Structure 1
Amino acid sequence: MYTLPHSLHDHVRTAALRVMEGGRHLTDEIAWILREVDANEIRAKAVRDHLYRMVRSGDLDPAVDVEATSLHMPDWLRLRCERSLGERLQAFLDASALDAPVFLRVNTLQATMEQCIETLAPFDVTQISEETLRADRPYGLFRSEAFAAGWFEQQDITSQRVVRSMNVIPGQRVYDACAGVGGKALHIAALMQNKGRIVALDVVESKLLELKRRARRAGATIIEPRHITSTKTVKRLADSADRVLIDVPCSGTGVLRRNPDITWHLTEDQLDELVQQQADILRRNARTCKPGGMVVYATCSVLREEGADQIERFIAENNEFTVTNSWSTLPGEDEGDGFYVAVLTRSTPS
């Protein structure tokens, strides 16, 4: 294991404090350090491992073994997790204190699995499924020619399962209600073989601009980014989609392996606001599904109030929708992130 040089101790300690007390994002701080120093693969890994360990545990000693880690969590959030998980709480905490693997989705619009395996061999890739690779030496991966050519995207294996739950087919009209920078929309486009139409919606215009850039690189030509400027943007789409993905903003408790800074930034009031926001997003966007179509509700959270409770309330108030399938995972199950997913169908009027 590589020991962090003393010359980097102050950089890493300063970065950890800015994350824990200043509200900075962990990935931004890692990027700052690597710009400040002469980075190579070993040094970059040391910086990342030690900074993640500090933020996870709250221990600011850079000399502590990066494997000796625990998970910082405020009491109120631990209690919420315990209410949702019961006897599974400790397994969740233990898994969330570990690193998440780097999963890649082969973009079948631009490349084959065989091409990616051969080209990405220096990054120690292993095929996990027909469209998924795990990269065990990811340093420099996103500066590779294969990435620039749109051959693959980084996407968690459970996130990929969310998209496959939609059962999309070429030629359909699909809405991604909270598209963000487009990770799932790009996957949908590949599964649809660039045939049909995907309307990617978001309230943050800068995210949609990044989605456009990613779509160009991926060769995904059927995605139409659409900025939500008022409630009318969604209302105009009523009863028109074959499939609707509602991947709501959430606490992120299912992705603490990747984003341990969440436990320092999230407040109880913010979580309660998110729960209300999720209910509103689900209610408004489910109406864009046409009768006979399908809605997939997803959240990368392990909390019942963001998952099963939302669906139970929605179904009780909207009897034309039926849950045909639901599933959930904890972080680390199948090596993926924690998610709750419900697949709903909208009945056809008799």
Structure 2
Amino acid sequence: MQSSSRTALLLTAAAAVQSSETQEDDLLDAFEMICDEDGLLSLEAFLQFDEVSALLEDGLLGTDEVEQIWLAVAGSKASKLGREGFMEAFGKVDELFEDFEEPDDAVPTELSMNGDAASPASDGVPVADEEVDEDLATAFVSLAGSRQGAITLEQLLRWQEVRGLIDEEQLTEDEVTSLFQGCLTKGSDTLTLSGFARFNAGLDDLFEDDLSALVSESAAAAAAAEDAASAAAPPPPQQEADDAVDDETSDVEAEFVALAGSRNGLLTLNDVLEWDTVTELVADGQMDREEVLALWDGAPKTSNGGAKQRLGLAGFVALNEALDALFEFEEEDEN
């Protein structure tokens, strides 16, 4: 049986312990197969139980996490558990994954006597180690020693990628600590491979938020400048406004007119995505679609039938200023 299937089996069976007498009977039958002649189960046997060992092999659960659960139920590592203790310990393992939900169309998986899946596993499970980005997995192994290892906060702070961001003042140790703590599973103070993947996803989100903030600041500055100009003098007639192009933004305005048809035109997200400047930057690998979407989200929109989904001239100018600021920021980092 593949490890990912056994992981799906654990989550489906463990969730059913509380709601299905049939699943509970299956787990108790499994207990009878792995307990000793006195009807007791040791920590070592629990670690070797198929459904627990599958999580350990996948890097979704650490040995220290299992030991913490065992201590909470049995009182010591040397103590053994009976049927009720086994069910309690198994339930605590399930609680570690309570944030992961199965999709509505998931196919239920039943537990057979030998621990194999009786039907296909669902996709609503934590990411197994083989699904983690290979570069991330390699980085994790360099820190933890193996895919089944775990890393501490101190190791994470010494990781070259994180240390570089801290040294460049793009990240603080407090932010790293907060992200680290948010990725820990209950009862553990170290990150397994899946926790490390969650940490990196959170790191990406943090920088996407910074980019959105940068866009918003540029948009606010552009709006303030436009308000100041409006307050300084009454607006000229429309034809004069079309002719009164500021030298500093004339190229941007000309680009907008070329895309929208006039200064009073409006651009959709698709127009921006197909804009030559954007397509060239994406094709050259200098930015990706997510960064373009972040620029779009931060730019002020013009209402159209009540939905702010189109970009006017002011918003296009703000988007260009944010784009310039983004690359100036990256150049400063390189220097």
The answer to whether TM tops 0.5 is no
Higher share in strand: 1
TM-score, length-scaled by structure 1: 0.22
